[in-house]
Amino acid sequence: MHETGGGGGGTMSADPQDYTIIKEGEAEILMRKNEVFYNPSQVDNRDMSIAVLRTFISKRKQEHEAYLLKRTKAATKASEKDSSEPAGEAADESLMNDEEANGECEVSEEAHQDEPCSISKESVKTPEGKGRGELKPARVLEALAASGLRSLRYAREVEGIGQVVAVDNDKVSVEACKRNIKFNGSVACSKVEPHLADARVFMLTHPKEFDVVDLDPYGAPSVFLDSAVQSVVDGGMLMCTATDMAVLCGSSGEVCYSKYGSYPSRGKYCHEMALRILLACIENNSVRYLPGFGPAVHQECSDCGKKFNMGGPIWSAPIHDQEWVTSILADVKSMQDRYPAYARISAALTNVSEELPDVPLFVSLHSLCATLKCTSPSAVIFRSAVINAGYRISGTHVNPLGLKSDAPMDVIWDIMRCWVKNHPVKAQPPDQPGSVILAKEPVLQANFARAVASLSKAQAKKVTRFLPNPERHWGPKLRAGRKITSKHISLLGPQALNGTVDHEDEEPTAKRQKAQEPSTNS
């Protein structure tokens, strides 16, 4: 039996031996089969969320201190101005009127009327709705808590956290969350508060109550966004995770449009486009285009002469705050032993820190060469040609072969035309896109001499930027409550079965045979 202290303490009603204990960071949870959803591959996501949350709390404190200092200086300046006026009834009346008008200065009873007013942080009155001196600990809402692991890690690992509200509409999940809270001791019991409720209703009935709202649903977060943004305080933070990447990356354009109001495009940049689609959906003031309508463009590509594939709308502004990224990366490196997925999140943050912030999407060098049917130049040579042409270029955090550049596509193709002249290709049918592109003479004469900035700082230091998955079948697992059958081997791996296969859940052989028989007309 496991003893706990603090609120809700006492002896646990369940024996930990009946469960599998999963430890992540400083939190531990009790799991049994597929009772409650737990995704081990999301440790990267949870570590990143903790890193972002730590930086948010730090910057929130800095902003509050700067705000108090500014108001203190303003009140001091006002008092000095008042004290410089001639003493007398007129000056006293002016001081009283000023106090009644702004309520910023309090005169000590012991002070004489002809002495300047002394100002301190305690004597500064803050207007209604703008904070009252002391900064309260941040309140966090995990809208879809499941086992409560994320909430427990927030409570136990992030300093400056006040209350963490864990909400789920599944009774089994809420019971598991309560069990895990008790299992993690007094700190968790005092900070984490579980609720059985529909997340959307809960957020709508608690407007502007949380400094941080965390959305991590099983699938699309779109149905929770409207209520989530209303539950965050002004100046707060919304953390959102989308796991329906197949939809966002173009497997079903109609489904993506119905959920996010945007059509995806299937390209090498699909993962970045997925992120930009989600950001465009979160931004409530964004313009919504009807299907088939959008900004006017030419009907045919000026480079290859083919029709365009239309996608979007997407968020085309920068998706990263470089100052934040630098702060988060420094924090992660200073306490790397506290992040189970340190190697992966530090690599991702390093990539983001060196990525061009103002260039949406990217090109793939291999895709360019596949279009032209030519051998590929090395990334260093291609980067050098772009830099020598006077443009910027960088890698991207979503694809090791992706290259971001502010060079227009006609410059990119001119560089490739010059490359093909030095590395000839076999003749292709004239109607092929590559043949049309190569038929044009390059306007720009590319310079492939090695440029100084052709390698990023991480590449120059040989820092690992992309890490392989830690094991096979690394990815989202089954939704909680689903029975594991043999058809899930490709998703979970054969070791996940090990006697847990429910053969009754499998499709009967007779039923499959009947479905395969040709239908006959009676």
Beta-strand ranges (E) seen in 129-224 are 138-142, 161-168, 192-196, 210-215
Amino acid letter for position 111:
A
Q: pLDDT value at position 459? A: 85
Token couple for 358: 């103002």
CA distances, 377 to each of 10, 152, 245 (Å): 66, 49, 31
CA distances, 116 to each of 78, 91, 231 (Å): 10, 12, 44
CB 51 within 8 A of CB 153: no
**Distance between CA atoms of residues 256 and 266, nearest Å:** 12
**pLDDT, mean of each 10-residue run, the chain (522 residues):** 37 64 92 76 93 96 91 86 59 42 34 32 36 82 93 95 95 93 95 96 96 93 95 95 93 93 92 95 73 68 87 92 95 94 94 95 94 94 96 94 95 96 92 94 95 88 83 70 66 57 40 42 38
Distance between the two ends of the chain, CA-based, in angstroms?
A: 67
Put residue 235 in one of left, alpha, beta given phi > 0 → left and psi -120 to 50 → alpha.
left
Peptide bond into 207 cis (omega under 30): no
**Distance between CA atoms of residues 334 and 332, nearest Å:** 5
**Distance between CA atoms of residues 130 and 127, nearest Å:** 6
| CA pseudo-torsion sign 231, 233, 234, 239 | negative
Contacts of 283 (CB under 8 A, 6+ apart): 315
Contacts of 30 (CB under 8 A, 6+ apart): 14, 16, 19, 20, 21, 22, 176, 179, 180, 183
Amino acid letter for position 102:
N
H-state helical runs in 389-429: 409-422
Q: pLDDT value at position 15? A: 64
**Distance between CA atoms of residues 300 and 481, nearest Å:** 50
Relative to beta strand 232-240, strand 161-168 is unpaired
Token couple for 267: 């390209």
CA-based nearest residue to 478, from 456, 455, 497, 451: 497
Residue whose entry in the numeric block shows the structure tokens 């030519």? 374
Report which secondary-structure segment, H or E, holds 366. helix 365-372
Contacts of 47 (CB under 8 A, 6+ apart): 25, 339, 340, 341, 342, 344, 345
**Distance between CA atoms of residues 202 and 101, nearest Å:** 40
**Distance between CA atoms of residues 305 and 481, nearest Å:** 52
Render 12-71 in DSSP notation, one character per residue.
Answer: -SS-GGGSEEEEETTEEEEE-TTSS---GGGHHHHHHHHHHHHHHHHHHHHHHHHHHHHH
| Stated pTM of the model | 0.79
User: Length of the chain in residues, anyone?
Assistant: 522
**Distance between CA atoms of residues 27 and 183, nearest Å:** 9
**Distance between CA atoms of residues 215 and 213, nearest Å:** 7
State phi, psi for 403 to the nearest 5 degrees: -135, 125
Find the radius of gyration of the CA atoms of the chain.
30
Question: Angle CA(464)–CA(242)–CA(138) in degrees, nearest 5?
Answer: 85
